[in-house]
Chains A and B, each alone.
Chain A
Amino acid sequence: MDEPKRKTIARNPSLWLIAALVLIAAIAFFVRLIVLNGASAADTAVIRYGDGNELRIRLDDPQTIVIRDGKLVSEAIGEGEENEIVVEAGGIRMESANCRGNDCVKQGVLSSKTVSRRPLGSWIICAPHRVSIELVEGAP
């Protein structure tokens, strides 16, 4: 009596699709965990902004960096497309940004200690202003 029902479930393409999606997501998540565990020794941040500009800074060197309209400037004045980045206590964070939504500010502190529990892993990203910060290993 159970046999036809079991066959129906086995031949149900909807269930197979959902199972395949769950499997793909689980494998991707597992690979991500392995990669993030390898990033725990990172001590340098790479800030990318503007048209391919890159700035490498050590996380043990406290400082404030301001980027406005794709260029490094001395202080934040809240004009143009502006991001203020703070390096302190071995971590880096987006202190402020005048983008919509402020997702980058909400992404919190990026450091070797926080990397494995952050949704964005070793990155802070301000998508509207195309500014990103990546945690990497090695001296600048």
Chain B
Amino acid sequence: MKNAKMIARLALLTALALILGYVESLLPIVPSAPGIKIGLSNLVVLYAIWQLGSWQAFVLMLLKVGLSGLLFSGPVGALYALAGGILSVIGMVLLHRANLSVVAVSAAGGVLHNIGQTAIACALLSPAAALGYLPVLLAAGLLAGLLLGLVSQAAIRAIDRYERGKHA
């Protein structure tokens, strides 16, 4: 029963992450700068790290990357997202275990995601191009991570309050 509940929650969160990713793809921030985005679906991953657990968050990221690769971004886009996703989720899980705040964990996640993407660009394209672009991606990842962290913090607190109210 507990397993079924977890699977249902994961499925719901995966659907939510996919929808957020799709909505974001309709609103490019800087069209001339590839790889720069807010990463709205990371809100769902952060929630999963805090409320479900490390493995669940990792599975959620894999499902989201795989499905959005099939539906929207294609194999190359999925490869970039996978490298960024693996690095950022592992980093965020470790930092969460070190009791850091949601905002700090999210900021580090944004930076790590873009470092993962840069590693793939180094392998597939050119290390010079990828590393030359890395400063832009670092700044963008940091800003997006901070923003999402603040939103996640508010959301997690509100959900906590709601859950406590329900059980009171």
Taking Cβ atoms with an 8 Å cutoff, the residues of A that contact B are: 13-15, 17-18, 21-22, 24-25, 28-29, 31-32, 35, 48, 100-101, 103, 106-108, 118-123, 125, 127-128, 130, 132, 134
Contact status of A118 and B95, CB under 8 A, knowing A127-B121, A128-B74: no
Our pick among B104, B121, B138 for the contact of A18 (Cβ within 8 Å) is B104
Most buried by B among A48, A120, A132: A120
Segment among B12-20, B39-47, B122-130 that sits at the interface with chain A: B122-130
Of A14, A22, A119, which contacts B103 at CB under 8 A?
A14
Q: How far does the Cβ of A7 sit from chain B's closest Cβ, in whole Å?
A: 17
The answer for the CA separation of A106 and B139 in the assembled complex, in Å, is: 21
With both beta carbons as reference points, the residue of chain B lying nearest to A13 in the complex is identified as B100
Partner of A31, one of B34, B101, B126, B135: B135
Known: A13-B100, A128-B77, A132-B125. A25 touches B142 (CB 8 A): yes
Query: What are 14 A-B pairs at a CB distance below 8 A?
Result: A13-B99, A13-B104, A14-B100, A17-B104, A18-B103, A25-B142, A28-B135, A32-B136, A100-B73, A101-B34, A120-B34, A121-B132, A130-B124, A130-B125
Please state if B128 and A119 are interface contacts (CB–CB under 8 Å).
no
> A15 contacts B34, CB within 8 Å?
no
Q: Which residues of A contact B108 (CB under 8 A)?
A: 17, 21
- A14→B108 CA distance, assembly (Å): 10
Q: Could you say which residues of chain A place their CB within 8 Å of the CB of B104?
A: 13-15, 17-18
Q: Are A134 and B101 in contact (CB under 8 A)?
A: no
User: Cβ of B4 < 8 Å from any Cβ of A?
Assistant: no
B interface list, Cβ under 8 A from A: 30-34, 36, 73-74, 76-77, 80, 95, 98-101, 103-104, 107-108, 111, 121, 124-126, 128-129, 132-136, 138-139, 142, 146
- Across-interface contacts of A123 in B (CB, < 8 A): 126, 129, 132-133
Q: Which residue of B lies closest to A133 (CB)?
A: B129
Given A25-B135, A29-B135, residue A127 in contact with residue B100 (CB < 8 A): no
B131 to chain A, nearest CB (A): 10
Interface centre among A13, A15, A17, A132 (most CB of B within 10 A): A17
A18 touches B146 (CB 8 A): yes
Docked-complex contact A122 and B77, CB < 8 angstroms: no
Residue of A nearest to B149 (CB): A18
Q: A120-B129, A132-B129 are in contact. List 6 more A-B contacts (CB 8 A).
A: A14-B100, A15-B104, A101-B34, A107-B34, A120-B34, A125-B34
- For residue A48, which residue of chain B has the nearest CB? B126
Q: Top 10 nearest A-B pairs by Cβ distance?
A: A119-B33, A14-B104, A28-B135, A14-B101, A32-B135, A103-B34, A106-B31, A25-B138, A123-B129, A128-B76
Q: How far is the CB of A132 from chain B (nearest CB, A)?
A: 6
Q: Which residues of B contact A122 (CB under 8 A)?
A: 132
Complex interface: chain A residues within 8 A of B30 (CB): 119
